[in-house]
Amino acid sequence: MNEFSQIVSLLQSARSLALYTVNSELVNLYWQVGHFVSEKLGNASWGESTVVELTNFIKNRYPDIKGFDKKNIYRMCQFYQLYKDAPNVAPVVRHLQDTDL
């Protein structure tokens, strides 16, 4: 029975690492999208209609990619804008970008 517990422990560790990795990548992705779109909106290269075009492009060309509607794109921008200068958050995101798990 103890050997079975060791296997379960290995499974749980792998599962935790997988969840951590997925979450890290999602935070990194949202940060990068927020940064990119914020920069485009900030220098007036893009307007709200361009964000709508982006969401339609993703929806129509890549229907299997979910979660990138207008509201969520703006939330990613908010996430980036809110934390880009935060001393505890921005370095963590940059660290996630540099970390190869």
Average pLDDT on 79-84 reads 91
- Is the Cα torsion angle 46, 51, 56, 58 positive or negative in sign? positive
Q: What is the mean pLDDT of the chain?
A: 89
Q: Is residue 94 part of a domain?
A: yes
- The count of domains in the chain is 1
- Global pTM reads 0.77
Q: Is residue 31 part of a domain?
A: yes
Model confidence at 88, pLDDT cuts 50, 70, 90, reads confident
Higher pLDDT, 48 or 59: 59
> Residue 37 is part of which domain span?
24-98
Q: Cα-flanking dihedrals φ and ψ of residue 44, to 5°?
A: 65, 20
Task: Tell whether the model's pLDDT for residue 101 goes beyond 50.
Answer: no
Residue 86, pLDDT score: 80
DSSP string, 23-61: HHHHHHHHHHHHHHHHHHHHTTS--HHHHHHHHHHHHHH
d(CA 16, CA 39): 34
Q: Is residue 85 part of a domain?
A: yes
Task: Tell whether the model's pLDDT for residue 71 goes beyond 90.
Answer: yes
Q: Is residue 14 part of a domain?
A: no
